[in-house]
Amino acid sequence: MSPDSLAVMGYYTGDGRGLERYDFNKLTHLIYSFVYLDGNKVGFRDEAAIEDYRRLLALKTRYPHLKIMLALGGWGGCEPCSDVFSSAENRQTFARSVKTVLNEVGGDGLDLDWEYPAIEGHPGHPYKPEDRENFTALVRALRNTLGQDYLITVAAGGFDEFLEKSLDWKAIAPLINSVNLMSYDLVNGFSTVTGHHTPLYSTAEQKQSTDNAVRFLLDAGFPANKIVIGAAFYSRVWEEVEKTGNGRFQTGKHVPGLRYSQLATEYRPENGYQLLWDQKAAAAYAYNAEKQRYATFDTPRSVTLKTRYVKELGLGGIMFWELPGDSDDGAMVNAIYTEKMAR
């Protein structure tokens, strides 16, 4: 597989200003996050959001290779999805509205980020078992309406319950360009026990991992070259964590984390942190014994290994949440790109 064929997909929630800090030669896709359901049609948050998106589209003048996509939903952004997409008429109207936006405003396709079909996602959001088949019908309506010229990708939970219950993998595989595995937040804000939130490999203490999700899909017959794994440009943090195991797999209280760009300043010995590496999980973490704070995150080392894993297994590429989290010198994207291009 040629290095050039590997996708490097960055999600983006900014306003489209300050884009000169990024080297888009090192990305293949930029995914504007998010658009939402307006009734049974796709809609932007407001007029300002349309202008934000247009700033991304303008990048194509300088970077004609770059695919610019819209992402629907996100965490907390798909409350009406279960109800709206239950209807064939609504699915068709939605698909036509996506085509209209892509034709009239611009863009290369849609990323479906419904969190989650058929299982509990954001607290209070409706879900039902029928979401699984309705999701397949939605993807089919989109492909039939958009044709083959537009991209359709699916942001998928990287944990067992989603993988087993949310989507009909065999049915959607021929219809989509890639599944973007959210192989992060595998321990998340609802977790009362620490762990690695974006590990490459499973361990005896933690089954959920990137490799666990990839193996599930491969075993289900999903095409390897349509699997895009995830990296996290942010940390998950817990406090009130005992020092046993340097804080790993201990009870704690989740608190807000940091962007990758802030990690080097905070997680250092001068601030009382030990910077640690789990060899089996291929995952970085940090622990502050005095403050009893534990942090889990990706680093250039871990994303290099993830990119190497993509190449070794013949996967489609790597994506990350999110581009503005990178350091000013682009350390995370550079690490991915350097490994991508390595022979």
Cite the active site residues: 115
Beta bridge partner(s), residue 7 = 317
Rounded to the nearest 10°, the torsion over CA 164, 165, 166, 168 is 70
Instruction: Estimate to the nearest angstrom the gap between the alpha carbon of 110 and the chain centroid.
Output: 14
Instruction: Estimate to the nearest angstrom the gap between the alpha carbon of 257 and the chain centroid.
Output: 17
Residue ranges of alpha helices (H) inside 105-195 are 131-146, 160-165, 169-172
Amino acid at 169: W
Largest CA distance in the chain: 60
Using CA atoms, how far apart are residues 57 and 60, in angstroms rounded to an integer? Answer: 6
Query: Number of H helices and number of E strands within the chain?
Result: 11, 14
Beta bridge partner(s), residue 154 = 112, 179
